[in-house]
């Protein structure tokens, strides 16, 4: 690869004049075959494409954009510094102000996501563009034309509710993506060059939005990296990458290294990423990527985008398309037939509108939203906030729950486990000096100090801190990664220990670095700290880490009285040689214990068919120990770096089998969720609370966060837990399945009842040559029937529907209709024949009689059919509906029966019916329930399920 000559970089007046394109970087990262999407999401073609061909990434491989960023960063990490300057078209002096302005105009502001917030009318259009809404709008307009104002108003109200809820959800989801920019807002120190003849290097403060590729940034503790950075120089640099990895531990970075391709991306030592921060140390770096080309932005580029419809929504659309087709065919036939006999076109059209209205399940939005709202209220009592009502339905279908380890399975606090020497044996002296260090340190108390103090006090140790006097302290910092205190005591009769001591504890490597001696407790002597001791301690620490324990080391130094060093606190901190020649004592081990409720909750979820997978950024050993203690199998485990090396087929197979996935990056968490959804055909829930969880939260079917989570995680979540307790999710799963069960009751019952009713109307009008019901009577029947369905969300659901995840089957509804639909039509035809031949109501003089009889039978049929559909068992005998449903059934039935006998019945042109007809209805419904129960048992025998 050739180098660009210096003469091409600088012009005569010494201003950097750089080319607008860079062939080197383009060859490194560009894919010539890449093509952009040609259709706008708001165009007609885009809408149709989204409606019929929505597809979700299967998660098996990186996207083209991610692959480009990976290649770019790896090549920079492997290159020498001078070649890196050529890649980004910069110089060791930095960019000129003029060149930086040009690049800012060319690249745009340095924001993590190139996200264009959609206008409110676009969101409303998307919410309105739904077949069910279109049907209701058309029918409401026709109802107003037909002077049926109440029916038209009801349908418009239902449309308004549906559109409002969807608009609110999409608006909230889109707005959440903008929150990412909050994590990089700060002034940045940048080195720029100025001057026409003699260039001068200047350090200026620039807003992060104005940073461009090629800038040289200067950073120190507390600074955020404004883009992806290739380090140029570093001194004791420690960086926090918790925003990307979720791990609380900081990582060392250095400029004096060349990485290779085998190193995981987030573990590259000479690359710092946008959104991460400096914990300690300082240095300089070259900005190599900004804005939408950073690693962070490619990770979060999918956030806020519209998700494809799930199975339930797609199946509802299929139902509505079916209804449209039936309405067009059946209503046309009815209008033509009615006109051929009445020769009154306006009357026939009005009757056709009434039939179309009766065919449409008008209460569907209200029933669904009422079911979901009822579930949301029930979950609120369990300290759970539901932001997206549809998530409750998804919880009923969820069969895999992906959870993080820290704070979810564990208590998120350290518990001290043991205090051992280099042989791995418990030694009280190790604990004593660890306790004294934690007791007397004052600079800052950490959770590990609290764990040591709690262990000593609860286990009954008496180390008498009152006999010790603190002389000085060297506080903890992220460069030394240890803390030292100087204490003094005098011997007494019970304790021979006396003198002045420096007690140090901290990271194992850093404590061992200042030790020259080691105490051998078995020999009761202090010996030279040899390489054998060094290796033995490292092996012991590795064994303890593999058991899921965190380790810190303890060392002491006896400061002889004649060599006492009276110093102030500040002078000791500046003396780098003061901590040396120490005696290594041993190790203190800690563990984040699992919650008492975790094992029980996971067992309850497993009983309900929900499998748990642990997705964490922590180490594999720690994750495995926690999982074993809460009952999660650890026979199939994998790490993020291992997943990265797999091809697509092995990736999917491994994700399917694995129960513990550790050291995952945010992108890998996303791919795991997508793989389970598309390749495994699972409904996936994800519980996370960090920025690193946002990708997976956005992709999951059910996204769950906690009230203590970061803002972006809570914005992405559908459900927010006010406390991290998995038992709340168990209750949520139960509520979701109750919601699904009652929703399916209404859908299947209404489709069968409506189709059966309309088919019966068609048969009756062909047989009678006149309308079996007038438009007013038909709309009244439909109104009473719809009002009676309001109680459905409060019905109870059988145990068989709560035990396993409930999924919509595309083949289920058509077969369900074919099996059960003809029974309703059979009963209506039987009623038709009975009225015509028993009462001889075939002349024009008996039309009122027929209308009254047909009205009552149709209303009772549509009302009572719910009790047959709602349960697998024998209705009213083995299973009785809830009292709200029973009251609704009795009330609507009573109104329907008494209506012909009331003054309102006269207005509606009804007449009084004989008691023999009601006797016939009793026999008819007994036959209906008998045949319906036999068909139900055969259906369950064939398809192994009912609802």
- In the predicted model, is pLDDT for residue 281 greater than 90? no
Cα(468)–Cα(483) distance, rounded to whole angstroms? 18
Cα(778)–Cα(862) distance, rounded to whole angstroms? 13
Q: What is the pLDDT of residue 430?
A: 94
Evaluate whether 522 touches 552 at the Cβ level (below 8 Å): no
DSSP sequence for 643-694: HHTS-HHHHHHHHHH-SEEES--HHHHHHHHHHHHHTS---EEEE--SGGGH
Of the pLDDT bands very low, low, confident and very high (cuts 50, 70, 90), residue 33 is very low
Question: Crossing angle, helix 149-176 and helix 775-788, to 10 degrees?
Answer: 40
Q: What is the pLDDT of residue 166?
A: 60
Which value, to the nearest 10 degrees, does the dihedral of the CA atoms of residues 254, 257, 262, 264 take? 10
HEC assignment per residue over 509-520: HHHHHCEEEEEE
Q: What is the pLDDT of residue 725?
A: 73
HEC assignment per residue over 165-225: HHHHHHHHHHHHHHHHHHHHCCEEEEEEEECCCCCEEEEEEEEHHHCCCCCEEEECCCCEC
What length is written for the chain?
Answer: 947
Strands (E), 324-434: 384-386, 400-403, 415-420
Q: What is the pLDDT of residue 6?
A: 29
Is 527 or 171 the better-scoring residue by pLDDT? 527
Specify the range with the lowest mean pLDDT, choosing from 149-153, 473-477, 683-687, 830-834: 149-153
Segment 694-714, tens digit of pLDDT:
788 888 888 888 776 766 677
Whether 689 is a known active-site residue: answer no
Q: Could you report how far apart the first and last alpha carbons of the chain are, in Å?
A: 66
Cα(367)–Cα(419) distance, rounded to whole angstroms? 61
Which residue in the block uniquely carries the two structure tokens 């885009």? Answer: 46
The two structure tokens encoding residue 549: 């324990």
* Residues whose CB is less than 8 angstroms from the CB of residue 206 and which lie 6 or more positions away in sequence, other chains included: 187, 188, 189, 190, 215
Is 325 or 29 the better-scoring residue by pLDDT? 325
Select which of 215, 399, 404, 715 is catalytic.
Answer: 404
Q: What is the pLDDT of residue 710?
A: 67
Q: What is the pLDDT of residue 492?
A: 60
If you average pLDDT over residues 248-264, what whole number do you get? 82
Cα(100)–Cα(216) distance, rounded to whole angstroms? 11
Cα(81)–Cα(92) distance, rounded to whole angstroms? 10
If you average pLDDT over residues 880-901, what whole number do you get? 90
Which residue in the block uniquely carries the two structure tokens 């719809």? Answer: 786
If you average pLDDT over residues 187-200, what whole number do you get? 76
Q: What is the pLDDT of residue 117?
A: 52
The two structure tokens encoding residue 231: 């380090």
Q: What is the mean pLDDT of the chain?
A: 78
* Residues whose CB is less than 8 angstroms from the CB of residue 526 and which lie 6 or more positions away in sequence, other chains included: 517, 518, 519, 520, 583
Segment 845-884, tens digit of pLDDT:
478 888 888 889 888 988 888 888 888 888 888 888 889 8
Q: What is the pLDDT of residue 432?
A: 93
If you average pLDDT over residues 186-212, what whole number do you get? 81
Segment 637-681, tens digit of pLDDT:
999 888 888 888 889 999 999 999 988 888 888 889 989 988 878
Is 683 or 246 the better-scoring residue by pLDDT? 683
Segment 158-177, tens digit of pLDDT:
677 667 756 665 565 455 44
Is 491 or 450 the better-scoring residue by pLDDT? 450
Cα(239)–Cα(277) distance, rounded to whole angstroms? 6
If you average pLDDT over residues 324-350, what whole number do you get? 76
- In the predicted model, is pLDDT for residue 1 greater than 70? no
Cα(744)–Cα(312) distance, rounded to whole angstroms? 10
Q: What is the pLDDT of residue 586?
A: 95
Per DSSP, what are the bridge partners of residue 685?
401, 702
Q: What is the pLDDT of residue 309?
A: 58
* DSSP H helical ranges for 471-530: 508-513
Segment 593-614, tens digit of pLDDT:
887 778 888 888 888 889 989 9
Is 73 or 187 the better-scoring residue by pLDDT? 73
Cα(721)–Cα(710) distance, rounded to whole angstroms? 13
Which residue in the block uniquely carries the two structure tokens 């390489």? Answer: 531
Q: What is the pLDDT of residue 433?
A: 95
Phi, psi values for residue 122, rounded to 5°: -65, -40
- In the predicted model, is pLDDT for residue 45 greater than 60? no
Evaluate whether 443 touches 473 at the Cβ level (below 8 Å): yes
Segment 537-586, tens digit of pLDDT:
999 998 888 787 889 999 999 886 434 444 444 444 444 567 888 999 99
The two structure tokens encoding residue 662: 């550790």
Specify the range with the lowest mean pLDDT, choosing from 202-211, 496-505, 633-642, 837-846: 837-846
The two structure tokens encoding residue 665: 């990056």
Cα(412)–Cα(463) distance, rounded to whole angstroms? 28
- In the predicted model, is pLDDT for residue 189 greater than 50? yes
Long-range contacts of range 449-454, CB-CB < 8 Å, 24 or more positions apart?
Answer: 450/414, 451/413, 451/414, 451/415, 451/416, 451/590, 452/416, 452/588, 454/416
Q: What is the pLDDT of residue 552?
A: 93
If you average pLDDT over residues 457-468, what whole number do you get? 89
Is 437 or 208 the better-scoring residue by pLDDT? 437
* Residues whose CB is less than 8 angstroms from the CB of residue 527 and which lie 6 or more positions away in sequence, other chains included: 517, 518, 520
Cα(485)–Cα(579) distance, rounded to whole angstroms? 11
If you average pLDDT over residues 394-412, what whole number do you get? 79
Is 279 or 855 the better-scoring residue by pLDDT? 855
């Amino acid at each position: 690869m050739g180098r660009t000559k210096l003469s091409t970089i600088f012009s005569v007046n010494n201003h950097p004049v750089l080319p607008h394109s860079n062939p080197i970087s383009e060859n490194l990262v560009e894919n010539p075959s890449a093509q952009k999407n040609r259709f706008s999401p708001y165009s007609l073609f885009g809408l149709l494409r989204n409606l019929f061909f929505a597809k979700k990434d299967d998660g098996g491989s990186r996207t083209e954009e991610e692959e480009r960023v990976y290649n770019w960063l790896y090549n920079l990490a492997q290159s020498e510094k001078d070649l890196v300057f050529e890649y980004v078209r910069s110089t060791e002096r930095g960019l000129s102000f003029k060149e930086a302005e040009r690049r800012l105009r060319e690249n745009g502001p340095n924001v993590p996501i190139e996200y264009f917030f959609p206008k409110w009318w676009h969101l409303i259009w998307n919410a309105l563009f739904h077949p069910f809404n279109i049907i209701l709008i058309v029918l409401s307009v026709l109802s107003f034309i037909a002077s049926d104002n109440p029916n038209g108003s009801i349908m418009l109200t239902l449309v308004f509710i549906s559109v409002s809820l969807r608009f609110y959800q999409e608006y909230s989801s889109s707005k959440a993506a903008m929150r990412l920019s909050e994590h990089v807002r700060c002034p940045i120190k940048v080195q720029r060059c100025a001057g026409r003849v003699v260039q001068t290097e200047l350090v200026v403060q620039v807003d992060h939005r104005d940073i461009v590729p090629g800038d040289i940034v200067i950073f120190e503790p507390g600074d955020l990296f404004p883009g992806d950075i290739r380090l140029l120089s570093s001194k004791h640099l420690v960086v926090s990458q918790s925003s990307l990895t979720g791990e609380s531990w900081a990582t060392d970075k250095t400029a004096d290294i060349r990485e290779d391709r085998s190193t995981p991306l987030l573990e590259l030592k000479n690359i710092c990423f946008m959104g991460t921060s400096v914990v300690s140390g300082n240095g300089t770096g070259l900005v190599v990527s900004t804005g939408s080309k950073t690693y962070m932005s490619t990770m979060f580029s999918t956030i806020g985008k519209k998700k494809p419809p799930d199975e339930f929504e797609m199946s509802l659309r299929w139902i509505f398309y079916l209804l449209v087709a039936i309405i067009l065919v059946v209503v046309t036939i009815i209008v033509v037939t009615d006109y051929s006999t009445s020769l009154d076109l306006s009357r026939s059209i009005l009757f056709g509108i009434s039939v179309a209205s009766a065919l449409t399940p008008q209460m569907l939005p209200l029933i669904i939203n009422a079911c979901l709202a009822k579930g949301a209220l029930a979950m609120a009592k369990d300290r759970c906030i539901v932001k997206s009502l549809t998530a409750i339905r998804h919880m009923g279908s969820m069969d895999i729950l992906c959870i993080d380890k820290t704070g979810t399975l564990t208590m998120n606090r350290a518990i001290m486990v043991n205090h051992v020497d280099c042989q791995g044996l418990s030694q009280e002296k190790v604990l004593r000096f660890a306790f004294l260090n934690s007791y007397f340190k004052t600079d800052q108390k950490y959770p590990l100090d609290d764990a040591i103090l709690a262990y000593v006090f609860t286990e009954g140790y008496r180390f008498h801190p009152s006999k010790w006097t603190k002389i000085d302290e060297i506080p903890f910092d992220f460069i030394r990664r240890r803390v030292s205190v100087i204490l003094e005591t005098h011997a007494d009769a019970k304790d021979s220990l006396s003198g002045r001591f420096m007690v140090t504890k901290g990271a194992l490597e850093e404590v061992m670095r200042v030790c020259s001696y080691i105490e051998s407790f078995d020999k009761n002597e202090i010996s030279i700290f040899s390489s054998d001791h060094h290796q033995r301690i490292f092996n012991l620490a590795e064994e303890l880490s593999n058991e899921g324990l965190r380790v810190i080391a303890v060392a002491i130094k006896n400061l002889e009285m004649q060599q006492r060093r009276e110093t102030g606190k500040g002078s000791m901190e500046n003396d780098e040689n003061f901590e040396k020649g120490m005696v290594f004592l041993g190790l203190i081990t800690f563990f984040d214990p699992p919650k008492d409720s975790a094992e029980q909750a996971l067992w309850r979820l497993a009983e309900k068919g929900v499998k748990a997978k642990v997705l964490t950024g922590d180490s594999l050993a720690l994750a495995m120990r926690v999982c074993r203690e809460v009952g999660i199998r650890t026979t199939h485990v994998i790490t993020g770096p291992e997943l990265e090396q797999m091809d697509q087929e092995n990736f999917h197979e491994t994700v399917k089998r694995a129960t513990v996935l550790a050291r995952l990056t945010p992108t890998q968490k996303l791919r795991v969720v997508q793989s389970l959804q598309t390749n495994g055909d699972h409904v996936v829930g994800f519980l996370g609370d960090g920025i690193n969880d946002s990708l997976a939260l956005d992709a999951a079917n059910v996204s769950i966060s906690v009230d203590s989570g970061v803002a972006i995680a809570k914005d992405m979540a559908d459900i927010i837990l006010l406390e991290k307790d998995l038992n709340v999710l168990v209750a949520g799963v139960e509520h979701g399945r109750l919601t699904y069960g009652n929703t399916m009751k209404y859908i299947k019952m209404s489709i069968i009842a409506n189709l059966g009713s309309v088919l019966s109307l068609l048969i009756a009008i062909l047989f009678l040559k006149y309308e079996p019901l007038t438009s007013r009577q038909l709309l009244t029947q439909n109104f009473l029937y719809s009002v009676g369905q309001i109680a459905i969300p409060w019905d109870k659901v059988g145990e068989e529907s709560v035990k396993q995840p409930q999924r919509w089957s595309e083949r289920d509804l058509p077969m369900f209709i074919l099996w059960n639909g003809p029974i309703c039509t059979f009963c209506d035809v039987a009623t038709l024949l009975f009225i015509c031949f028993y009462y001889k109501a075939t002349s024009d003089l008996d039309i009122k009689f027929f209308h009254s009889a047909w009205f009552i039978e149709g209303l009772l049929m549509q009302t009572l059919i719910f009790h047959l559909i709602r349960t697998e068992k024998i209705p009213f005998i083995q299973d009785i509906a809830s009292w709200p449903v029973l009251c609704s059934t009795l009330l609507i039935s009573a109104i329907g029966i008494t209506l012909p006998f009331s003054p309102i019945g006269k207005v509606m042109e009804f007449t009084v019916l004989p008691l023999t007809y009601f006797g016939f209805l009793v026999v008819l419904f007994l036959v209906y329930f008998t045949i319906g129960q036999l068909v139900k048992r055969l259906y369950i025998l064939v398809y192994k399920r009912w609802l």
